[in-house]
Amino acid sequence: MTNDIEFYEQSEGGLTLSGGEPLSQSNGLLELLKKAKRNNLHICLDTTGYCDWVNFEKVLEYVDIILYDVKQIKDEEHKRLTGVSNHLILENLKLCLKQKVKIIVRIPVILGQNFTDIESELEEYIKNLIQIGVKKFELIPYHKFGEQKYEMLDREYIISVKDINSNEIWKVINNLLEEYDVSIKVSRPIIS
């Protein structure tokens, strides 16, 4: 990390910690964050928020921005998709929002997996997060880049995903931007 400080300074970049889940190794993470801050690095934590609050809280003072993934707002659907409840994730998000750290909630948009109807569900999803204090969102539409890799490996691509109508997403985004003081970014082009 210290070997690249000149690069970070020239590029105005920093350190992004992602995973897996970086908070699952909070003691090692804390030491790394302290060293990064001593070297004046900008620090981004990419997390699902699925960890004990005690471990989360002790790293917050060293983090400049959190990319907080919320894969599904409905608990039963979250359990179906990930195997765990979203209660801890949402509770930690509420606690983070009370801290002095910038948070961007990232939502994967995978029609046929975490959404069945973009127009009705996405708006409800984001409104629920607005109610707990979220102001910045990044939508991450599913991409099919991995399909070719499966073909090259002569393996079956088993993920069942429907194409997204980009007009539906933009309609939801425009409605929310008119109604609320929030920022919504789409991370990549919506391919339908």
Residue 171's CATH number: 3.20.20.70
88-136 pLDDT, tens per residue?
Answer: 999 999 999 999 899 999 998 887 777 777 778 888 899 999 999 999 9
Query: Which pLDDT belongs to residue 23?
Result: 94
Residue 63: inside a domain: yes
Residue 192: inside a domain: no
Q: DSSP 3-state assignment of 60?
A: helix
Query: Which pLDDT belongs to residue 128?
Result: 93
Residue 65: inside a domain: yes
Q: Taking the CA atoms of the chain, what radius of gyration do you get in angstroms? A: 18
DSSP state of 115: B
User: For residue 31, what are the domain limits?
Assistant: 2-186
Query: Which pLDDT belongs to residue 190?
Result: 57
How many domains does the chain divide into?
1
pLDDT < 50 stretches in the chain: 192
What's the chain's average pLDDT? 87
Residue 119: inside a domain: yes
Residue 103: inside a domain: yes
Single pTM value for the model: 0.85
Residue 191: inside a domain: no
Nearest to 53 by CA among 15, 103, 85, 94: 94
**What CA–CA distance (Å, rounded) separates 25 from 44?**
16
